[in-house]
Amino acid sequence: MNICVITSHFPSEKDPTFAFVEALVHELVDQGNSCCVIAPQSRLSAMKNNRVIRKKEEQRRTKNGNEFMVYSPRVASFSAIPVISKLLRGKLQHWYYLAVKTVVAQLPMKPDVLYGHFAKPSGMLASILGHELQIPSFVAFGESNLSASLKEVGFEKVRADLRYLTGAIAVSSQLKKEVLREKLVPDIPINVIPNAIDRTLFHPVGKVARQLRRNSLGIKEDDFVVAFVGYFTERKGSMRVLQAISGLDRVKGMFFGTGPMVPVGDQVAFCGVVSHDHLCEYLSCADVFVLPTLAEGCCNAIIEAMACGLPIISSDCDFNMDILFEDNAIKINPTEIDEIRKAVLKLKQNPELCKQMGMNSLRHAANLSLSNRASQIQSFMDSCIKERSGTISLEA
């Protein structure tokens, strides 16, 4: 299958943002598909956010050495000047559309599928271009707050642009419910396919490697270690985790990420950024993964921690229902510090329970591999296209 992925951003060597999109593209290519990526970029926006300005055309390789193209046509953006951005919103969207359309028209081979990652603007563009160019189009809903992300454009505009889709993917059952409730797409198949992990990157490490890493961080043998991965913000809950472990004997915290709400103190064993390729080594130092997040699409960090064999303490919210279960997670009210604290203590005081829940996390994570997800997405798109072709034939 020849797949054209449309996305608002794509990682570079020095900018890992949207690494999950890159991982999916790599897996699709390694499974024998021909893929290209179109990720329009604004120079002004890139400089404002300290992001690398990518080449307009670049040939990339997967870890297996398979090639794919990344196109980064230049677009205008005035996100640094909100007043101008609001006044020119319609024109900016049109310029974005023209940039993507120009690349698609110049591709050496017409795509079999247009795949928009996230509804705005990529899914909307995939739908419109698919209709104009007679190419089946799909959208992946993965937004942590769907209503907020679409509010700026307006639901009527979103519905109008998405009306030509062939199918849709939601990373959680909650997102599918939201899409149906808001009637964002026409009567098309919507498949729930949770996010997934690269099992070559995330897996348990041996006891010796684990102990060496703990030693390097100054973590003692009898320390109980809590790990957090995510932006240091109110939504993700870095400070709630710190408050929950505050004063607990022999409990340390490792916080991986960046943001305004930086955890500091004697109980913080690590705080900062770690390369995604090396995160597994650090996660495996922990005894439990804690993320009291307020909103998610489907949290990659949780799945990665599960793949490293950690029990999970996270939010008792619908966005977690597809990946967390009673045998591998303690679900808490993410705003209640005392609930988080009690959950940490429960696992600290019950080593066998902690170990068993970690083993259950491994078992569940085995079903959430990136290879499985890529295969499911391809199979879903295939079936939608065949169903649509059959319907058209019958109507004709």
Mean pLDDT for the stretch of residues 295-324: 96
pTM above 0.75, yes or no: yes
pLDDT digits (tens, 9 = 90+) for 129-142: 999 999 999 999 99
pLDDT at 160: 96
pLDDT at 48: 62
Mean pLDDT for the stretch of residues 44-60: 77
Give the span between the Cα atoms of 320 and 341, in whole angstroms: 20
pLDDT digits (tens, 9 = 90+) for 169-209: 999 999 999 999 999 999 999 999 999 998 889 999 999 99
Contact 228, 238 (CB under 8 A): yes
DSSP string, 92-137: HHHHHHHHHHHHHHH-SS--SEEEEESIIIIIHHHHHHHHHHT--E
Lookup: tokens for 72: 């980064």
- pLDDT exceeds 80 at position 91: no
Query: Mean pLDDT score of the chain, rounded to an integer?
Result: 91
Lookup: tokens for 143: 């937004």
H/E run at residue 59: strand 57-61
Show the domains of the chain with their CATH numbers: 2-196+370-395 (3.40.50.2000), 207-367 (3.40.50.2000)
Residue 311 or residue 367, greater confidence: 311
At residue 62's C-alpha, the angle toward residues 58 and 68, to 5°, is 40
